[in-house]
Amino acid sequence: MSAASLHSRTAGKPSAGIPPTGRGGAPRKARRNRRWMIFSLLPVVLFFVVLSVFPVFNLIGTSLYDVRWSGGDSTYHFIGLENYRQLFSTEVIYWAGLRNTLIFAVCAVTAQMILGFSMALAVKRAGAMGRTLLTGIFLLPIVVPPIVIGSVWRLVLGREFGLANGFLGLFGIPPVDWLGNPDIALASVIFVDVWHWTPFVFILMLAGLEAIDEEVLEAARMDVRSSWQEIRHVIVPMMLPTIVITLMFRIILSFKVFDEVYLLTSGGPGTATEVVNFSIYRVFFNQDRVGYGSAMAVITLFGMTLAIIVGRGLLVRKRKNDERKLEQ
Amino acid sequence: MKTITARLLAGSTAIAAVATFAAAANAADTVRIAINQSPWLDSFIEMVDLYESETGNTVELDVVPFTGLLEKIRNSLRAADGDYDIVNVNALWLPEIYSAGYLKPLAEIREGYKLGDGTLSYGGTTYWDSTTGTFSEDGQLLGVPLNGNVQVLYYNSEIYDRLNLEVPQDWDGLIANAKAIQAEGDAYGFVPRAARGSIVYNFTPYAYTQNGAYVTVKGDKSVEVSINSPEVLKALEVYLTLANEAGPPNPGAIAQGEMIQLMSTGRGAQTIGVIAAWGSFENPNESRVAGKIEATLIPAGPTGTRASSAGHWVAGIAGNVSPERQDAALDFLDWFQGLDVQTAYVRAGGVPVRGDLGKTDLGQSEEFRFIEAYSENAANAVMALPFPQANEVSDALALRLNQAVIGELEPAAALNDAADAIAEIFEREGYDVSRLPAL
């Protein structure tokens, strides 16, 4: 449940623990509280504006310029929406990257959510010893630095000398070109990302599961016929806030994918594993086209924000519908 | 009281130490260099140690991974006061850095300064002519090469001996050898370096030996996009024949690391690769074919044209540091080109920047038998993208060439697409662009 929906539900109702205040003192105290709230939140707001809002506006502003460096100085030529026109009319690599990023986000996040949730359930139901052991094993990939992950998986998935093909060879299966075949290279990168980030989902899901009151679960078990029904009709609805937050985190992080692609395939072969961050990096830092790179970043930022708002809106609407059905 | 005095003393000592260090770092005889992490870095560090012991001057190295160096160089050169006196610039970045006017012409630091006798200019890439906007020995000398790196043809002599193969002089000979080796089945006949990040550099000798060119600079802000010429198409067909008929099954995914791996394990019999890979082939701890790999001239085209691609590093002196610092930096670069220093550099594992070591005892020795092939290929080195938009053009071209290798585009379509993308870049930059008819 989001903070906003919590607030909307409790607003106007006197809380059980706080006695109602008298008529005369209340407005004055409320004013004082409000002032204190503003005063105490101001540094955080300023911090947010300086570190988040200003860079975004700066990015939008820069995307309207052609930035050049010459004679040891920078010059900004205002070109209006020219960078956006180019991006939408002639760009090839960025759009291939955006398509791949969307495929990557949907496939990787779906797999991570299902696996992470299943692993959390397994650990929750294991004994004390098994719980410690499984948690340790499941969390291992997330503590490995990305550069090591890239190197390790490159060695595992290499066509000529890779461990995976060595293993397949034991069964007489011919070597598979995991990273060099354009048809399966993106799937290989998704697989590595799932391996890397499922523990993140697992740990949040486990925390959500641990927070569910055992008595409530026991009571609910009386009304269900199978474990599947318990998961579907009891655990998942109770875990929905955790699931939504985890999903949002993972979608945002999956749009940020860079290191795995860079280390495993560098975006190739062709544009098979190109992702938006790689395109932006190349334009911004390699080609030094700051304005054009900013336009790419702005489109990505707005696209991602829109996707999250729409996705969250759909989930909230679904939840409200479910609640309405329950009330009826 | 004693404690307070002790703390004050310790504090003063620390401040004095920091001040001394800062003063030392600011001294004009301390040369600050931004340099990339690389297999040859250790040999360069040995030369720095030698310089310090011979002159008493100090050199500070800021070692940066390859991918981060360009941005670090830009940041330092664009500042009011530079962090580095010398910046080590990769061949592909040279036009951008030269054309932006960041570097101090060496003849303005020391009147009449020229490269040392025997020092290679790698197709004139140490000079920049600002009137035509390209490399030219008619322009100003802006740098000294710090590490030579050109491509050579490598072959496994054991396989050659077994199959009675001759060292190829032209592309047909190379293809014939590659097919013969492939037919035997013990090794891949040829290993191309055709991954997206490598292919432009790797393909360059093919195109230029066929008398082709990607883009021809015709004058100030005037270019001809010639990537879709019949000559380059012929070169691409040769490349694809080697890659698809005699190469590993995934040529479009082979970068430098994979190429070295295949050659040093004996799985690859021939390749066109950088001379810097020699150390990996010869090191018995890394290679199963140490002592069996030979380097030679890249095959000639139908009219006898030879070419290699320049992938060297050039040290430029920053324009935004004091004249004393610039002078100290030039002292170091001048010393570095000396015959004795270059000989020591090769012995330490570096790739020389002189073309005359092949005639010395060093070049005639078995251990350094690569020197002659290196010098000959260096003399033919071309810089295929001699304009400030090199990075962008390289990215556009790399994608299409790689797509041709993996079969996503037909060779002619790949070159036509590349020509469209490259022409668009130059038109956007305000160039007068001429084109060839589509293939």
Q: In this structure, how many other beta carbons lie within 10 angstroms of the beta carbon of residue A151? A: 13
- Whether residues A286 and B70 touch (CB distance < 8 A) is answered with yes
Tokens 């008398």 label which residue?
B211
**What tens digit of pLDDT does each residue of B98-143 get?**
998 899 999 999 999 999 989 998 989 999 998 888 899 999 999 9
CA distance A180 to chain B (A): 5
Q: What is the pLDDT of residue B436?
A: 96
**Amino acid letter, residue B175:** I
Contact B102, B118 (CB under 8 A): no
CA B146/CA B352 separation, integer angstroms: 8
Measured CA to CA in angstroms, residue B267 lies from A149, B155, B373 at distances of 26, 12, 23
Average pLDDT, chain B: 91
Q: What structural domains does chain B harbor?
A: 27-149+310-372 (3.40.190.10), 151-308+409-435 (3.40.190.10)
pLDDT at res. A9: 39
Distance CA B151, CA B123 (A): 14
- Give the integer Cα–Cα distance in Å for B73 and A324: 61
Element (H, E) at B151: strand B151-156
CA distances to B130, B281, B373, B390, B436 from B218, rounded to whole Å, are: 13, 41, 32, 16, 14
Tens-digit pLDDT profile for residues B186-204: 999 999 999 999 999 999 9
**pLDDT per position as a tens digit, B376-421:** 999 999 999 999 999 999 999 999 999 999 999 999 999 999 999 9
Q: What is the pTM of this model?
A: 0.85
Determine the Cα–Cα distance for residues A97 and A95; give it in Å rounded to an integer: 5
- Partner-chain contact B408 A182, CB within 8 Å: yes
B392 touches chain A (CB under 8 A): yes
Residues of A within 8 A of B188 (CB-CB) are none
> pLDDT tens, A70-101?
666 778 999 999 999 999 998 999 999 999 99
B262 and A160 within 8 Å at the Cβ level: the answer is yes
Backbone conformation region of residue A142, classed left if phi is above 0, alpha if psi is from -120 to 50, else beta: alpha
Residue of B nearest to A286 (CA): B391
What's the confidence (pLDDT) of residue B9? 52
pLDDT, residue B404, reads 97
- What are the pLDDT digits (tens) for B232-249? 999 999 999 999 999 999
As a whole number of angstroms, the distance between CA A180 and CA A128 comes to: 44
In this structure, how many other beta carbons lie within 10 angstroms of the beta carbon of residue B374? 29
What is the reported pLDDT for A3?
39
Is the pLDDT at A20 greater than 60? The verdict is: no
The CATH superfamily holding the domain A91-327 is: MetI-like (1.10.3720.10)
Q: What is the pLDDT of residue A8?
A: 39
Read off the tokens for A48. 């947010």
- Indicate the residue type of B131: T
Would the CB atoms of A269 and B196 count as touching at under 8 Å? yes
- Least confident interval from A24-28, B263-267, B339-343, B416-420: A24-28
Asked if residue B86 has pLDDT above 60, the reply is yes
Contact list in A for residue B195 (CB cut-off 8 A) is: 266, 268-269
Distances in whole angstroms, Cα of residue B64 to Cα of each of B68, B71, B290, B419: 6, 10, 30, 34
Helix, strand, coil shares of chain B, percent, nearest 5, are: 50, 20, 35
ipTM: 0.82
Residues in chain A within 8 Å Cβ distance of B423 = none
Q: Per the structure block, which two tokens stand in for B3? A: 């404690």
pLDDT at A198: 95
Give the distance from residue A232's alpha carbon to the nearest chain B alpha carbon, in angstroms. 44
Q: Which one, of B355, B349, B313, B347, lies nearest residue B333 by Cα?
A: B313
User: Given 3-state DSSP classes, what are the helix, strand and coil percentages for chain A, each rounded to the nearest 5?
Assistant: 75, 5, 25
**Cβ atoms of B191 and B185 closer than 8 Å:** no
Are the C-beta atoms of residues B168 and B147 closer than 8 Å to each other? no
Q: Taking a C-beta distance cutoff of 8 angstroms, is the pair B187, A160 a contact? A: no
